[in-house]
C-alpha cells in the first residue's frame, strides 16, 4: 500500500500551510515538484536528499527518489521512524550537482498524535543517505581488494573499444539523413505516416529528441502528396540541425500555440548551425481556423515558426502561412539568411519579423560585435498579413534584397495599421545607426505604409512603393497612405527609387518639434509621381539633399515646412537636378529654412489647381542661392511668376530663366541678381518657316547673352 501526496514546491519560497500526517505511519509518501518561478527545475544529473529535524530534536538524513528529472519531480518516503514523535517535523530538501548544493526553504510537517501504542517505536536519528553511501564504499573496497587494484589494467581496452564504437555510431547518425518515415531501429523511434489523416506529433517529437541526444543531424520529411499533421506544438533544441521538408506540415490544433519552435535556453548558450529547406513546402499555423479569436499581449509567442537565440540560421524555400500572430518570427538570432520564402495570412501581426531581443538582455551596442544581428532576407514575398509584410525591430545590420510586400495591413483603428516594410527602433536608447538596408524591394497595394521608418541609419536602394492606401483612422499628420513615412527625430536616411500613385504622399517625412527633435541628414533621389497629395512632403527637417522627378502630383511636387512652431534655428535644403512638372500647386514650396540652395532645378507648368501662383516658392528663408534655375509657364494659364522669394536676408541668383513677364519676384533689395532673363520663348510658332525659326532663336540667344546667362 502506498499513499502519495503531491506538493508543488518553489525553490525560493516558503510553504505556509503545514503538511498533516499521522504518527507512526509508514505508507505515506510525498511527491515534490520542484519549481523555479512556476517553471519545473530540472533534476537531470543531480542527487536529491532530505534533511529533517523531529519535534524531539532527533535528526533524519534520507535519500530521495527522482521520478521525473525534466519535470523536477522527486519522492520522499516518510518512515515510521521519521514520524515517531508527534509535533512539527521540519524538512529541507538538498539538491546536489557535483560540488554545488542548492536547498529549499524549510517546510513543516504536522505529525498528529496516534492512539496506537508507540512504546515499541523509539525515536532515533535516521541517516539512510549516509548508510547507503557507506554500503557502496564497502562494496567498492571489497571489489578493489578482490581484483588487487588491477581494474584499470583489466578493463581499459574494453572501455576504450566501447567509447570508440559509440563515437563512430554517433558520427554515422550525424552524417546520414534520417527519413522520418523510416527512422533507425532500436532507438524508440516510430515512423511518420504523412498521410493527411494520422497525428504524427509523437513521431516527430521522438525524432527531434533523438537528434538533440546525438548532438545534431539531418531529418527528411519526404513528399507523399499528403500533409504531415500534428496536434501539438513541435519544439526542438538542437544545434547542427538540418530539416529537409518536402511535404506540407500543418497543425490541427485550434488553440493558441505555434507550429514549430527552435528556442535556446539562453542567449549565453545559443543554438548554432540550423538549416531549414522547404522546397516550396508550406508550414501552416492554422491561425485562420481560430474561432472568435481575441488578441492579448501574451499571444506574441504563438507563430507559425518561432526561433529565439539561434546563430547561423539558414531558411530556404519555405512558405510560412496562417500564423496566429506572426508567420515567421526570428528573435535574438544572429547571422541568419532567409532565401526564396513566402509569408502570408498572419491573423494578428506580421508576415516576417526580426527583432534583436525583446526579453531585455543582449540589446544592440555598436561597439559590441556580438550584439549585431547580421541578417539577409532575399527574394522573399509577404502578402495578405494583418499588419506588416516585413519588419525589422531593433535589429542592426539587416538587408532586405529583392523582396516584395503587397496587400498587407488593415483598416482598423486600434492595432497596427500595417504596410509593406518597416524599420523600427522602439524605445532603444541611446539611438544608433542600425544600418538596415532595403535593396530593389517593392511595396504595393498595402494599407497604412509602403515603407515605415522609425530608426536611424536606414537606406532604400532603388525601391518602389505604389498604391498605398490610407486607413479609416483620422490622421491629422498624414502619416498613413504614403509610399514612405519617416517618423520622429531620425537621422542618416537615404532613399532612392520610384514612389507613385499612393493615396497621400509619395514620401512623407515628419519630425517632432525643435532642433533636438529634427530629422537630420536626409538624402533623396526619387521619382514621386501621380500621388494623391505631394510628391515629397516634409516637416521639421534639419538637413536634406534632394534630386529626382516630382510630376503630376495633386498638390506640391516638393513641400518642406519648418515653420508652425518647429522652431529650427538652423536648417539647410539643397535641391540639385530637380524636375517638378505639372503639379497641382507649386512645383517647389520651401518655408522656414536658414539656407536654401537651388542647383539645376527645372519647374514647368505647375499650379494647375490654383488661380495664380509660382513654380517655385521660398518663404521665410534667410539665405537663398540659385544657379541654373529654369522655370517655365508652358500653356498654363494660372502660373504668373517663375520663382518667388519672400523675406530672406540675402540671396544670390545665377542663371534664372523662364518664359514669364517676371521670372523672379524678389522681396529684398539685398539680393544679388546675375543673369536673370525675362524673355518669352512663346515667340516661336509651329507655323514658322525654318528661316523664321532661325531668326527668332538668334533673337532669344541675343537676349540670353545680354543677360549674362550664356557667354557665346
- The per-residue pLDDT for 411 is 75
Contact present, 252 and 231 (Cβ < 8 Å):
yes
Contact present, 484 and 446 (Cβ < 8 Å):
no
CA distance 238 to 276: 13
- The per-residue pLDDT for 172 is 47
Phi and psi of 216, rounded to 5°? 115, 170
Give the residue among 438, 354, 454, 343 at the shortest CA–CA distance from 399.
Answer: 438
Whether residue 702 has pLDDT greater than 50: yes
- The per-residue pLDDT for 622 is 79
CA distance 485 to 493: 11
- The per-residue pLDDT for 241 is 94
Which pLDDT tens digit goes with each residue over 620-654?
777 888 888 888 877 666 777 788 887 666 677 76
Taken in order 606, 544, 547, 503, is the CA torsion positive or negative? Answer: negative
Higher per-residue pLDDT: 682 or 201: 201
Average pLDDT, the chain: 83
- The per-residue pLDDT for 710 is 44
Q: How confident is the model at residue 229 (pLDDT cuts 50, 70, 90)?
A: very high
Q: How confident is the model at residue 94 (pLDDT cuts 50, 70, 90)?
A: very high
Peptide bond preceding 650: is omega within 30 degrees of 0, i.e. cis? no
CA distance 244 to 461: 34
What are the grid coordinates assigned to 107, written together?
517546510
DSSP assignment of 537-556: EEESBSEEEEEEEEES-SS-
- The per-residue pLDDT for 383 is 97
How much is the average pLDDT of 670-679? 48
Give the residue among 523, 608, 515, 637 at the shortest CA–CA distance from 569.
Answer: 515
CA distance 358 to 325: 16
- The per-residue pLDDT for 56 is 87
CA distance 672 to 539: 29
Q: How confident is the model at residue 329 (pLDDT cuts 50, 70, 90)?
A: very high
Rounded to an integer, what is the distance from CA 524 to the centroid of its chain? 26
In this structure, the strands spanning 613-619 and 639-645 are parallel
For residue 712, how many other CB atoms are within 10 A of its CB? Answer: 4
For residue 610, how many other CB atoms are within 10 A of its CB? Answer: 15
Q: How confident is the model at residue 579 (pLDDT cuts 50, 70, 90)?
A: very high
Number of H helices, E strands in the chain: 4, 53
CA distance 500 to 465: 7
CA distance 535 to 518: 21
Give the residue among 619, 623, 630, 592 at the shortest CA–CA distance from 709.
Answer: 630
Give the residue among 361, 243, 347, 367 at the shortest CA–CA distance from 303.
Answer: 347
Contact present, 307 and 331 (Cβ < 8 Å):
yes
Higher per-residue pLDDT: 406 or 369: 406
- The per-residue pLDDT for 629 is 84
- The per-residue pLDDT for 98 is 84
Q: How confident is the model at residue 107 (pLDDT cuts 50, 70, 90)?
A: confident
For residue 410, how many other CB atoms are within 10 A of its CB? Answer: 18
CA distance 315 to 331: 14
Whether residue 668 has pLDDT greater than 60: no
How much is the average pLDDT of 44-48? 90
Q: Give every CB contact of residue 698 below 8 A, 6+ residues apart in sequence.
A: none
CA distance 178 to 549: 57
How much is the average pLDDT of 17-25? 87
45-59, 202-216, 662-676: which range is least confident on average? 662-676
Contact present, 46 and 95 (Cβ < 8 Å):
yes
Whether residue 683 has pLDDT greater than 80: no
How much is the average pLDDT of 542-567? 86
Q: How confident is the model at residue 712 (pLDDT cuts 50, 70, 90)?
A: very low
- In the chain, the percentage of residues whose pLDDT exceeds 90 is 42
- In the chain, the percentage of residues whose pLDDT exceeds 70 is 78
Whether residue 75 has pLDDT greater than 50: yes
Helix (H, G, I), strand (E, B) or coil at 411: coil
Determine the straight-line distance between the first and last CA of the chain, rounded to whole angstroms. Answer: 116
- The per-residue pLDDT for 577 is 93
**Residue that is written with C-alpha cell 512539527 in the block:** 88
Which pLDDT tens digit goes with each residue over 124-147?
666 665 556 555 555 555 555 555
How much is the average pLDDT of 465-485? 90
**Residue that is written with C-alpha cell 492606401 in the block:** 469
Q: How confident is the model at residue 295 (pLDDT cuts 50, 70, 90)?
A: confident
- The per-residue pLDDT for 168 is 52
Whether residue 358 has pLDDT greater than 60: no
Query: Please, what's the b/e burial string for 504-527 (b: 16 or more CB within 10 A of its CB; e: otherwise)?
Result: bbbbbbbbeeeeebbbbbbbbbbb
CA distance 287 to 321: 8
Task: Please give the C-alpha separations between residue 27 and each of 216, 445, 473, in angstroms, as whole numbers.
Answer: 45, 72, 69
In this structure, the strands spanning 47-53 and 87-97 are antiparallel
322-336, 663-677, 684-698: which range is least confident on average? 663-677
Whether residue 261 has pLDDT greater than 60: yes
Q: How confident is the model at residue 253 (pLDDT cuts 50, 70, 90)?
A: confident
HEC assignment per residue over 378-403: ECCEEECCCCEEEEEECCCCEEEECC
Amino acid at each position: 500500500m502506498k499513499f502519495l501526496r503531491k506538493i508543488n514546491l518553489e525553490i525560493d519560497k516558503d510553504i505556509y500551510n503545514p503538511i498533516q500526517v499521522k504518527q507512526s505511519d509508514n505508507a505515506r509518501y510525498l511527491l515534490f515538484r520542484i519549481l523555479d518561478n512556476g517553471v519545473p527545475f530540472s533534476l537531470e544529473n543531480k542527487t536529491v536528499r532530505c534533511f529533517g529535524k523531529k519535534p524531539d530534536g532527533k535528526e533524519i538524513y534520507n535519500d530521495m527518489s527522482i521520478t521525473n528529472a525534466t519535470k523536477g519531480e522527486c519522492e520522499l518516503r516518510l518512515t515510521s521512524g521519521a514520524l515517531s514523535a508527534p509535533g512539527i517535523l521540519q524538512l529541507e530538501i538538498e539538491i546536489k550537482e557535483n560540488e554545488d548544493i542548492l536547498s529549499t526553504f524549510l517546510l513543516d510537517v504536522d505529525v498528529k498524535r496516534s492512539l496506537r501504542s508507540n512504546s515499541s517505536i523509539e525515536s532515533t536519528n535516521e541517516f539512510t543517505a549516509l548508510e547507503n553511501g557507506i554500503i557502496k564504499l564497502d562494496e567498492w573496497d571489497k571489489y578493489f581488494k578482490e581484483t588487487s587494484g588491477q581494474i584499470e589494467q583489466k578493463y581499459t581496452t574494453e572501455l576504450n573499444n566501447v567509447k570508440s564504437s559509440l563515437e563512430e555510431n554517433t558520427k554515422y547518425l550525424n552524417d546520414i539523413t534520417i527519413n522520418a518515415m523510416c527512422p533507425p531501429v532500436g532507438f524508440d523511434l516510430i515512423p511518420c505516416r504523412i498521410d493527411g489523416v494520422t497525428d504524427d506529433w509523437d513521431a516527430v517529437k521522438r525524432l527531434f529528441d533523438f537528434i538533440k541526444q546525438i548532438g545534431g543531424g539531418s531529418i527528411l520529411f519526404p513528399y507523399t502528396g499528403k500533409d504531415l499533421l500534428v496536434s501539438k506544438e513541435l519544439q526542438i533544441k538542437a544545434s547542427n540541425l538540418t530539416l529537409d521538408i518536402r511535404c506540407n506540415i500543418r497543425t490541427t490544433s485550434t488553440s493558441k500555440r505555434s507550429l514549430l519552435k527552435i528556442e535556446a535556453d539562453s542567449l549565453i548558450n545559443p543554438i548554432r548551425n540550423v538549416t531549414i529547406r522547404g522546397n516550396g513546402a508550406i508550414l501552416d499555423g492554422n491561425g485562420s481556423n481560430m474561432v472568435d479569436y481575441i488578441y492579448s499581449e501574451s499571444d506574441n509567442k504563438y507563430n507559425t515558426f518561432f526561433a529565439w537565440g539561434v546563430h547561423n540560421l539558414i531558411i530556404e524555400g519555405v512558405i510560412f502561412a496562417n500564423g496566429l500572430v506572426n508567420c515567421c518570427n526570428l528573435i535574438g538570432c544572429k547571422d541568419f539568411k532567409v532565401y526564396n520564402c513566402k509569408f502570408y495570412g498572419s491573423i494578428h501581426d506580421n508576415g516576417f519579423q526580426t527583432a534583436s531581443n525583446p526579453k531585455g538582455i543582449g540589446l544592440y551596442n555598436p561597439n559590441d560585435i556580438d550584439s549585431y544581428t547580421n541578417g539577409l532576407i532575399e527574394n522573399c514575398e509577404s502578402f495578405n498579413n494583418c499588419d506588416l509584410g516585413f519588419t525589422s525591430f531593433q535589429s542592426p545590420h539587416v538587408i532586405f534584397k529583392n523582396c516584395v510586400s503587397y496587400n498587407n495591413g488593415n483598416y482598423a483603428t486600434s492595432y497596427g495599421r500595417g504596410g509593406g516594410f518597416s524599420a523600427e527602433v522602439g524605445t532603444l536608447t541611446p539611438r544608433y545607426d542600425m544600418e538596415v538596408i532595403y535593396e530593389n524591394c517593392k511595396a504595393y497595394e498595402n494599407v497604412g505604409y509602403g515603407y515605415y521608418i522609425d530608426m536611424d541609419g536606414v537606406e532604400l536602394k532603388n525601391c518602389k512603393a505604389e498604391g498605398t492606401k490610407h486607413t479609416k483612422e483620422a490622421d491629422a499628420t498624414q502619416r498613413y497612405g504614403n509610399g514612405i513615412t519617416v517618423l520622429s527625430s531620425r537621422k542618416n536616411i537615404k532613399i532612392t527609387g520610384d514612389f507613385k500613385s499612393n493615396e497621400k504622399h509619395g514620401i512623407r517625412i515628419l519630425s517632432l518639434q525643435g532642433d533636438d527633435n529634427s530629422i537630420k541628414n536626409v538624402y533623396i533621389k526619387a521619382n514621386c509621381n501621380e500621388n494623391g497629395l505631394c510628391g515629397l512632403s516634409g516637416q521639421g527637417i534639419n538637413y536634406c539633399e534632394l534630386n529626382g522627378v516630382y510630376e503630376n502630383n495633386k498638390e506640391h511636387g516638393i513641400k518642406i515646412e519648418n515653420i508652425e512652431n518647429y522652431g529650427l534655428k538652423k536648417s539647410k535644403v539643397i535641391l540639385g537636378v530637380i524636375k517638378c512638372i505639372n503639379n497641382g500647386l507649386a512645383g517647389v514650396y520651401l518655408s522656414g529654412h536658414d539656407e536654401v540652395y537651388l542647383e539645376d532645378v527645372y519647374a514647368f507648368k505647375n499650379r494647375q489647381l490654383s488661380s495664380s501662383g509660382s513654380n517655385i516658392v521660398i518663404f521665410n528663408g534667410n539665405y537663398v542661392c540659385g544657379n541654373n534655375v529654369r522655370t517655365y509657364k508652358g500653356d498654363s494659364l494660372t502660373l504668373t511668376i517663375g520663382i518667388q522669394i519672400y523675406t530672406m536676408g540675402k540671396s544670390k541668383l545665377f542663371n534664372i530663366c523662364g518664359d514669364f513677364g517676371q521670372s523672379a519676384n524678389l522681396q529684398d533689395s539685398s539680393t544679388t541678381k546675375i543673369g536673370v532673363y525675362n524673355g518669352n520663348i512663346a515667340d516661336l510658332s509651329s507655323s514658322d518657316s525654318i528661316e523664321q525659326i532661325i531668326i527668332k532663336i538668334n533673337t532669344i540667344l541675343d537676349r540670353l547673352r545680354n543677360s549674362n546667362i550664356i557667354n557665346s
